[in-house]
Amino acid sequence: MIVRFSEVDSMGIVWHGNYAKYFEDGREAFGKAHGFSYLDVYANKHLTPLVKLDFKYKTPLEYGDSAIIETRYIDHDAAKIHFEYTIYNKKNNAIAATGESIQVFLNLKRELVLVCPDFFIDWKKKMGIFMNKE
Amino acid sequence: MIVRFSEVDSMGIVWHGNYAKYFEDGREAFGKAHGFSYLDVYANKHLTPLVKLDFKYKTPLEYGDSAIIETRYIDHDAAKIHFEYTIYNKKNNAIAATGESIQVFLNLKRELVLVCPDFFIDWKKKMGIFMNKE
Amino acid sequence: MIVRFSEVDSMGIVWHGNYAKYFEDGREAFGKAHGFSYLDVYANKHLTPLVKLDFKYKTPLEYGDSAIIETRYIDHDAAKIHFEYTIYNKKNNAIAATGESIQVFLNLKRELVLVCPDFFIDWKKKMGIFMNKE
Amino acid sequence: MIVRFSEVDSMGIVWHGNYAKYFEDGREAFGKAHGFSYLDVYANKHLTPLVKLDFKYKTPLEYGDSAIIETRYIDHDAAKIHFEYTIYNKKNNAIAATGESIQVFLNLKRELVLVCPDFFIDWKKKMGIFMNKE
């Protein structure tokens, strides 16, 4: 991911709110790599809005910097999707920011789904996430 | 409209792309004042995407500046919505930017509608726009 | 604050990242009301980047909704600026989101300032924040 | 360039204002390929704000679409930078949008520079742009 001119504020550093896009980029890349995207979720008749989002800003990203976004899936039994993120600045390997997000499942009537949807359980199995628990 | 910190770039002036939001603010305010909003359009089973958008940047807006957006409706017989905009900087009345936008009508199947929809003709009549032509 | 069309995502609700703008609106309004703005900080030769930002999303805001942002200053002895936020949806008084932010002080060489700058102490005094402690 | 979830509006298509970012991506990529970036311009003590920006929207980009941005430099004798853009949707090669931008040169005092700066003339020579004129 390369920092866009439009993402930088008048201090010459990435405006803090833009890290929400970078975390989303991380989720997208994770979804692409592991077969779990917004479009898959929607095809399975669910929405997954965020209920929690945290940022810790460590060192600023500047215009022209390249960054690497590391996205880790944290498993829970409950019907939620938990990711942790670390953004590294490529030029010096410094951590630019860390954070986490939690998403829940809604059905297409926008009602909260309290039990893990089948397609999510299938995905976990495919990922081998249940293995260690059995 | 007050310039947000997040709308200013590393030159300390509003990033040019953010004027698209200001023009949208202008359309919203116009719609609210004259009973012609996105939600009205949608309730009447149409969408009105932009097909053309132009900006001319005159003098920069800075963080903390207040601006006034003047939005003028330009009537056409064809099935389109044409607005012209002028953004003034309140602190010195200088013109910050001018521009225009053209929107067309789609039905909910997203097909182009070539004839003015009834609700739009009704709105024009209510606005007295046809008066001068009869 | 009125939700902009451009702030709403394909689910028809405000995209979660846009709440960073709303919290900034809250800080701005607080700064304006209490004489403590980015521009004051800058005039006093400091920058105040965020080091922490948290969101909890409760009920979605939709296009056209009006929201009220409540911004509370939380005092600390340390050289940091701590705000808590609650965003209410005007149409039903429901809480849309809560959150908090922590900012630190940098001097214009971008070095971390560990002791409360004089202008910040002066501002606290003016606000009567030290009263209860003496 | 891949369409981000956050760039899509409630109609499920890229919000028109986000094309300003895509054009900027095009300028960046052009600058990187041809040694003419914002940072080069700044190192040569100039700023190059936009004075004109036009969009024509042809077919919508949707979430998950990949797009190719073609950026063409149009030469003028005057001290300005003129680009034309075409954005193609990779999935069907359809043109999503076209447009153009014009930038001018300011010195670091933010005064308009009416004569082509030397570094820009040098860049044109390196690009062979003057050849056909001699």
Q: Is D111 exposed, middle or buried (0-12, 13-18, 19+ CB in 10 A)?
A: exposed
pLDDT at A134 over 60: no
Q: Catalytic residues of D, which ones?
A: 9
Three-state DSSP at C98 gives strand
- Residue D110 has a pLDDT of 94
Q: Tell me whether residues B53 and D52 touch, CB distance under 8 A.
A: no
Distance from CA of D132 to the nearest CA of A (A): 33
Closest to A42 in 3D by CA, of A105, A125, A102: A105
Which of the four pLDDT bands, split at 50, 70 and 90, describes residue C49? very high
**Cα first-last separation, chain B:** 38
Q: Which chains touch A (3 or more CB pairs under 8 A)?
A: B, C, D
Q: In chain B, pLDDT over 70 holds for what percent of residues?
A: 96
- Residue B130 has a pLDDT of 61
List chain A residues with CB under 8 Å of C49.
11, 13, 16, 57, 60
pLDDT at B133 over 50: no
Q: How many A-C residue pairs are in contact by the CB < 8 A criterion?
A: 53
Mean pLDDT, chain C, integer: 92
**Rounded to 5 degrees, what are φ and ψ at D3?**
-65, 125
Instruction: Calculate the alpha carbon distances from A114 to A107, A111, A124 in Å.
Output: 10, 9, 17
List chain D residues with CB under 8 Å of A37.
64
D9 CB neighbour count, 10 Å cutoff: 22
Distance from CA of B118 to the nearest CA of D (A): 22
Closest to C20 in 3D by CA, of D21, A24, A106, A74: A24
Mutation to test the B interface, candidates C28, C47, C62, C91, most B Cβ within 10 Å: C28
pLDDT at C13 over 70: yes
Assess contact for B14 and B61: CB atoms under 8 A.
Answer: yes
Q: Catalytic residues of A, which ones?
A: 9
Spell out where C12-125 has E strands.
Answer: 46-47, 50-57, 67-74, 80-89, 95-104, 106-107
In this complex, which of B18, B50, B57 lies closest to D49 when CB atoms are compared?
A: B57
Q: Residues with Cβ < 8 Å from A80, sequence gap 6 or more?
A: A51, A102, A103, A104, A105
**Rounded to 5 degrees, what are φ and ψ at C118?**
-55, -45
Q: Outline where chain A has alpha helix (H).
A: 19-34, 38-43, 118-126
- Give the total residue count for chain A: 134
pLDDT tens sequence across A93-118? 999 999 999 999 999 999 999 999 99
pLDDT tens sequence across B44-91? 999 999 999 999 999 999 998 999 999 999 999 999 999 999 999 999
pLDDT tens sequence across C70-128? 999 999 999 999 999 999 999 999 999 999 999 999 999 999 999 999 999 999 999 88
pLDDT tens sequence across A21-43? 999 999 999 999 998 887 788 88
**Rounded to 5 degrees, what are φ and ψ at A64?**
95, -15
Three-state DSSP at A104 gives strand
Distance from CA of A32 to the nearest CA of D (A): 10
pLDDT tens sequence across C17-27? 999 999 999 99
ipTM value, please give it. 0.91
Which of the four pLDDT bands, split at 50, 70 and 90, describes residue C134? very low
Q: Tell me whether residues B4 and C28 touch, CB distance under 8 A.
A: yes
- Residue D42 has a pLDDT of 86
In this complex, which of B21, B38, B64 lies closest to C39 when CB atoms are compared?
A: B64
For A82, the token pair is: 């938990």
CA A56/CA C103 separation, integer angstroms: 11
For C81, the token pair is: 């600026």
Three-state DSSP at A82 gives strand
Three-state DSSP at D93 gives coil
CA C10/CA D14 separation, integer angstroms: 10
Assess contact for D14 and D3: CB atoms under 8 A.
Answer: yes
- Residue B134 has a pLDDT of 39
Assess contact for D76 and D85: CB atoms under 8 A.
Answer: no
- In which residue are the tokens 């005064």 written? D111
In this complex, which of A2, A38, A63 lies closest to D5 when CB atoms are compared?
A: A38
Per-residue pLDDT of chain D (134 residues; tens, 9 = 90+): 899 999 999 989 999 999 999 999 999 999 999 988 877 888 899 999 999 999 999 999 999 899 999 999 999 999 999 999 999 999 999 999 999 999 999 999 999 999 999 999 999 999 888 654 43
Q: Which chains touch D (3 or more CB pairs under 8 A)?
A: A, B, C
